[in-house]
């Protein structure tokens, strides 16, 4: 029996390699290994889930998630170089942008030395592949089919601003979406999806896609903000 366990552990390590990419990826390996060692998975189940995970990661990759292992939170950080633009202008433009983008005119603004900080709440739409029950015909009935689902991702952004530079920290992310089987609105934090392998196997790919699309949309949002800040002179020209 010990030899069998050792063989499976060697197989697991050889199949996936050492998890060095990120803290969240380490937790995936740790979670699956602990399931087996704690007796929650049989040898066959452990083998099958290991190979299924490897095949998925080989196919779609693992999302590069900025995970804070101390606070156990996912937090994105973007640094924007805004050369030649004063802190005052950046603060004003961020305030304008948040009002236009999120309908928020009550951003918290503080100042400390040569830096200012704004804290706002916002949201973006995130599309991801999910499983729907779709009626095919009288013979096949309803069949699980992958289709696009829509989720609203809510978050808090903390902007730290100095002359010519801005740091944007996006945190406290959570999603509201409709479960297509129960028709219920589901609310889940981004943190709760990890480890991804703890979810139903059929949900692995949708979750990975959801995380990837979230990362892309947030980066695009910050790029749009950078452009808005940079266009301050032309925006105020009414000639």
pLDDT attached to residue 236: 76
Alpha carbon distance 85, 71 (integer Å) = 34
Domains of the chain plus CATH, in order, are 2-60 (no CATH), 69-235 (3.30.530.80)
CB atoms within 10 A of CB 187: 11
Cis peptide before 195 (omega within 30 of 0): yes
pLDDT attached to residue 174: 94
Residues 6+ away with beta carbon under 8 Å from 26: 19, 20
Unique residue bearing structure tokens 């609105």: 185
Lowest mean pLDDT segment, chosen from 135-144, 167-176, 219-228? 135-144
pLDDT attached to residue 2: 35
Contacts of 17-23 spanning 24+ positions with Cβ under 8 A: 21/62, 21/64, 22/62, 22/64, 22/65, 22/67, 23/67, 23/69
Residue among 171, 170, 161, 172 nearest 80 (CA): 161
Is residue 181 exposed (0-12), middle (13-18) or buried (19+ Cβ within 10 Å)? exposed
pLDDT attached to residue 143: 58
11-25 pLDDT tens trace: 333 333 332 334 577
110-147 pLDDT tens trace: 989 999 999 999 999 988 766 555 546 656 555 566 66
Residue among 97, 79, 82 nearest 230 (CA): 82
Q: Is the pLDDT of residue 207 over 60?
A: yes
Unique residue bearing structure tokens 């059929």: 202
Q: Are 138 and 71 in contact (CB under 8 A)?
A: no
- The predicted model gives 42-64 an average pLDDT of 89
140-169 pLDDT tens trace: 555 566 667 788 999 999 999 999 999 999
């Amino acid at each position: 029996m010990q030899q069998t366990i050792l063989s499976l552990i060697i197989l697991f390590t050889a199949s996936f390699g050492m998890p060095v990419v990120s803290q969240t990826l380490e937790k995936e390996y740790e979670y699956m290994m602990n399931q087996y060692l704690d007796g929650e998975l049989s040898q066959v189940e452990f083998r099958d889930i290991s190979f299924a995970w490897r095949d998925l990661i080989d196919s779609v990759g693992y999302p590069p998630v900025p995970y804070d292992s101390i606070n156990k939170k996912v937090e994105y950080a973007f640094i924007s170089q805004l050369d030649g633009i004063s802190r005052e202008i950046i603060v004003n433009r961020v305030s304008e942008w948040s009002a236009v983008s999120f309908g928020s005119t009550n951003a918290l603004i503080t100042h400390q030395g040569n830096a200012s900080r704004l804290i706002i709440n916002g949201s973006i739409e995130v599309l991801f592949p999910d499983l729907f029950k779709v009626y095919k015909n009288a013979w096949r009935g309803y069949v699980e089919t992958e289709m696009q689902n829509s989720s609203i991702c809510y978050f808090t952004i903390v902007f730290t601003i100095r002359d010519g530079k801005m740091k944007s920290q996006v945190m406290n992310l959570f999603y509201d979406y409709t479960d297509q089987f129960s028709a219920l609105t589901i609310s889940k934090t981004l943190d709760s999806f990890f480890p991804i392998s703890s979810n139903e196997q059929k949900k692995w790919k949708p979750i990975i896609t959801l995380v990837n699309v979230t990362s892309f949309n947030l980066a695009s949002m910050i790029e749009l903000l950078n452009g808005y800040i940079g266009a301050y002179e032309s925006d105020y020209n009414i000639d």
